[in-house]
Structure 1
Amino acid sequence: MGLNTVGCVASIGVSEKPHFRFRVHLGMFNALSGMGGGGQVNPTAANNANTALYTTFAVFGVLGGGIYNIFGPRLTLFTGCLTYVLYAGSFLYYNHYHQQAFAIVAGAILGIGAGLLWSGEGAIMTSYPPIARKGTYISLFWSIFNMGGVIGGLIPFILNYNRSDAASVNDATYIGFMCFMSAGALLSLAILPPSKVIRDDGSRCTNIKYSNVRTEAIEIMKLFMNWKMLLIVPAAWASNFFYTYQFNHVNGALFNLRTRGFNNVFYWGAQMLGSIGVGYLLDFSFPSRRMRGFVGITLVGVLGTAIWGGGLANQIKYNHADLTKKLDFKDSGSAFAGPFVLYFSFGLLDAMFQSMVYWVIGALADDSVILSRYSGFYKGVQSAGAAVAWQVDTHNVSRMSQLIVNWGMTTVSYPLLVVLVYLAVKDDPKSDEEPPKPVLLH
């Protein structure tokens, strides 16, 4: 790999390992959410906290690209990381006092931090790599990121292994999350700025010419009239909307506490496999970059249809079933295997879907400043969808209705992404060149 970056792989001894751990830090939050209800027996506090989180995330996701352009990667990402520690701590507090106000406030603060962190991270992983290797490095990011989810799934599984009848996770689980998150916050300070990024081919990443509030405000407003961003809106809205259903009504509803942690190890592990597979496809399958985009979107669309179809079959089976008896990973037969495979497949699809969307965003430009705004817009719309999804669940909308809405939104996004690739993604200049004709010597 040999890149002198952190969006890809940093030079040995400078920031390769720190950025690795920083991405693992990101996965801790996913592991906590994946427990269903934040690891609590009653998901209401987690649903309300997540609503507050994604409401502020929607705003600061859009603003985050501009903030990143003003303050640079280190300060932006470090500030964002610290808010995750507070959020995990709020559930430690909830374990003792069962008052959700702290969790809701912490969720709102985390939304601000997450907007900063993900806008910066999106800019890094789409602008630091070489043009022809963006899919590879997006998959590298997604794999390391979800390694955090795997580790985070092991924490509650191990610490609650002998508590098969427990309703909520113990204090040590939240403390473990907080330790990893704190380490990630400190290590984010080791991230290289774009000015120090030198790629394999000797080219340099676009340097951030530190912007100002007025310029960024104008450019951010323009995003809402940018036809490219409007075509991404359905995919962005859908891409975190389905978490509520998957976490609360598959993992949370069907499995006992320790098995939820066990399942999350494989859910986030599946994300690593999915991102690697789609990343390879989007970089190496065809000489034409546009054709790679078409094939990638088609593959994800076909796989998504099959997996959501499996989700429908599973939901029909459990729609009127008594869910007081939870499945355990030690159960034999199809009772455990079917829902487990479905949850694993949801993880696979999530990684493929989001990696594909990030690849499309990365193919729209090669400028770190522009891509930070595009990534921020994507995360902002994505978070607005998630805020709605958590409140939909709080208002007890039926599981079947949630499944149909999720399936429908992802399905609508595929043809719009195809149109975007057709109109806006240009083939690599070298890939379109005809091979030199042989010279015949007489």
Structure 2
Amino acid sequence: MGFEGGYNSPLVQVGLIGLVCFCCPGMFNALSGMGGGGQVDPTASNNASTALYTTFAIFGILGGGIYNILGPRLTLLSACSTYVLYAGSFLYYNHHKHQAFAITAGAILGVGAGLLWAGQGAIMTSYPPPNRKGTYISIFWSIFNMGGVIGGLIPFALNYHRSEAASVNDATYIGFMVFMSAGTLLSLAILPPSKVVRDDGTRCTNIQYSNVSTEVVEIARLFMNWKMLLIVPAAWSSNFFYTYQFNNVNGVMFNLRTRGLNNVFYWGAQMLGSIGIGYIMDFSFKSRRTRGFFGIGLVAAVSTAIWAGGLANQLGYSRNHKPDKLDFKDSGADFAGPFVLYFGFGLLDAMFQSTVYWVIGALANDSETLSRYVGFYKGVQSAGAAVAWQVDTHNVSFLTQLILNWVLTTVSYPLLVVLVLLAVKNEGEEKEITKGMEVTPASVKEVA
């Protein structure tokens, strides 16, 4: 099946939401990836992140319903603007060292992020043709994570000669705000699902609107949905490891300019990981279930190897005995091992999350259902992240954090296998799902 290229095509719309996420959460990831939000003392960033992921947990779950009611443009426009405020709060903190603004902005961003990611997830999983969801997920993930790559270059270039004792400069935060503002405006280009038409003539949904009572009932049912309950460990763990990786590997082991460089490769690794796993999930075997089993098994194997490498690295330092800061130019061979590990963490993150998104996308095809499923996933994910940031704030040992991350991700793999076994249909059975969603040539012209 080829890719169609009209403005109302899935390819263009997934590309556009990728660009929106390039500018907003992509830059946010680069900001967070520096460790401590670019500050010498990570306390303000940890507390802001806790506030962020607490509200994100609530509005991630509610986000699918809100998206179904408001549609993509209003939902995404309001959501993206909260990213600009968050970056601005750290610009303020650079001068005044008051946490309150950063924490408040974090809580507001949690609301916006919940809405953005529920909408993004619905677009990424429901717009593509059923047998190309892995490919479209990898397209989105690559565009989105290019934001982290470019975002990593900003602090690297602007803080190249700054001392380790300094926080990043004002220009770094202003650069992030410029990109985030552009993404906010770009969100207006996203079409509602009823106007997106695949090249085989099917729509992404045949429902034009939703309402509050419907969404309240459907969201409540998610907590009794066995499919969603099997997703919970994967969802919880999928942002839990960021705190350890950003603060306690990148933030502890490397100096300021090297952290920015590391993030270029961390998010670049995400692009490679998403492309690789996307190909496997769409093309490796004829049977979709077999592709799912193989993909989950491969990610589990890669995960075990990378976390084992992380354990070997972690045994060399602790919270009470931190290592000398590594520099990409001056540290020689000592730099290589931790750098490759951090690159591996990025690779695994993309493979892990792309696999989970593929599984969720294989559970349904309509935008309404998938927006709720992805919202649930993001809500649980964010609850896990909120806990993780406080775990670090309360000075839990680095080794304990690593073991927690390793166990949580490992537990999720067999549950995903069960979900694929019991709930994912092969392509031959898929035709019954999409039956009745065809559109006429006339209606295609109306929205082109």
Instruction: Give the alignment's TM-score, normalised by structure 1.
Output: 0.94
- Residue 354 of structure 2 corresponds to 355
Partner residue of 1:366?
Answer: 365
- Asked if 2 retains the 8 angstrom alpha-carbon contact of 1:231 and 1:417, the reply is yes
**1:8, distance to aligned residue in structure 2 (A):** 4.3
Aligned positions of 1:2-401 closer than 5 A: 2-4=4-6, 8-10=10-12, 18-25=16-23, 26-319=25-318, 322-323=321-322, 325-401=324-400
Matched length: 428
Q: Percent identity of the aligned residues?
A: 76
In 2, distance between residues paired with 1:7 and 1:251? 40
Counterpart of 1:438?
none
Contact 2:138–2:354, Cα closer than 8 Å, also in 1: yes
User: C-alpha separation between the residues in 1 aligned to 2:229 and 2:429?
Assistant: 30
Indicate the residue corresponding to 1:439 in structure 2.
Answer: none
Q: Distance in 2 between matches of 1:55 and 1:6?
A: 35
**Residues 421 and 3 of structure 1: is their aligned pair in 2 closer, same or farther, counting only changes over 3 Å?**
farther
Deviations, residues 403-428 of structure 1 (Å, cap 9, x unaligned): 00000000000000000000000101
Distance in 1, Cα, partners of 2:256 & 2:240: 23
AA in 2 matched with 1:213? V
Letter in 2 for 1:201: D
Name the SS for the 1:326 alignment partner: coil
Paired residue secondary structure (2:188): helix
Partner of 2:201: helix, strand, or coil?
Answer: coil
Deviation at 1:370, TM superposition (A): 0.2
- The answer to whether the 8 A contact 2:9-2:196 is kept is no
* C-alpha contact (below 8 Å) 1:149/1:265 kept by paired residues: yes
Distance in 2 separating the partners of 1:121 and 1:110: 16
Partner SS, residue 206 of structure 1: coil
How far does the alpha carbon of each residue in 1:243-282 deviate from its partner, in whole angstroms, 9 at most, with x for none?
Answer: 0000000000000111000000000000000000000000
| C-alpha deviation, 1:233, in angstroms | 0.1
Once the two structures are superposed, residues 62-118 of structure 1 have per-residue CA deviations (whole angstroms, 9 ceiling, x without a partner) of 000000000001111111000000000000000000010000000000000000000
TM-fit CA distance, 1:196? 1.9
User: In structure 2, what residue type is equivalent to 1:24?
Assistant: F
Runs of 5+ consecutive residues of structure 1 not aligned to the other structure: 433-442
Contact 1:8–1:141 (Cα < 8 Å) also in 2: no
Unaligned residue ranges in structure 2 (runs of 5+): 432-448
Indicate the residue corresponding to 1:402 in structure 2: 401
Q: Is the 8 A contact 2:236 2:384 kept in 1?
A: yes
Aligned 8 A contact 2:61 2:219 in 1: yes
Deviations 1:13-43 (A, max 9, x none): xx68754531211200100000000000010
Once the two structures are TM-superposed, the CA of residue 162 in structure 1 deviates from its matched residue by 1.4
Give how far 1:192 is off. Answer: 1.5
Q: Distance in 2 between matches of 1:208 and 1:171?
A: 47
Structure 2: how far apart are the matches of 1:87 and 1:323? Answer: 30
Q: Tell me, yes or no, if the aligned pair for 2:26 and 2:147 is still in contact at 8 Å.
A: yes
User: CA shift at 1:165, angstroms?
Assistant: 3.0
Counterpart residue identity of residue 370, structure 1: T
RMSD over aligned Cα, in angstroms?
1.7
Residues 14, 127 of structure 2: 8 Å contact kept? no
Q: Distance in 1 between matches of 2:212 and 2:15?
A: 33
Q: Counterpart amino acid of 2:172?
A: T
Deviation at 1:174, TM superposition (A): 0.2
* CA apart distance, 1:194: 1.2
CA distance in 1 between counterparts of 2:430 and 2:107 reads: 46
The 1-side partners of 2:135 and 2:16 are apart by 20
Secondary structure at the aligned position of 2:291 is classed as: helix
TM-score, normalization: structure 2? 0.93
Distance, in Å, in 2 between the alignment partners of 1:17 and 1:382 is 24
Hey, what's the Cα distance between the residues in 1 that align with 2:209 and 2:424?
A: 27
Would you say the 8 A contact 1:53–1:111 is kept in 2? yes
Contact 1:3 1:198 in 2 (8 A): no
Could you report, residue by residue, the CA deviation over 1:273-315 in whole angstroms, capped at 9, with x for unpaired residues?
Answer: 0000000000000000000000000000000000000000000
Indicate the larger mover: 24-33 or 226-235. Answer: 24-33
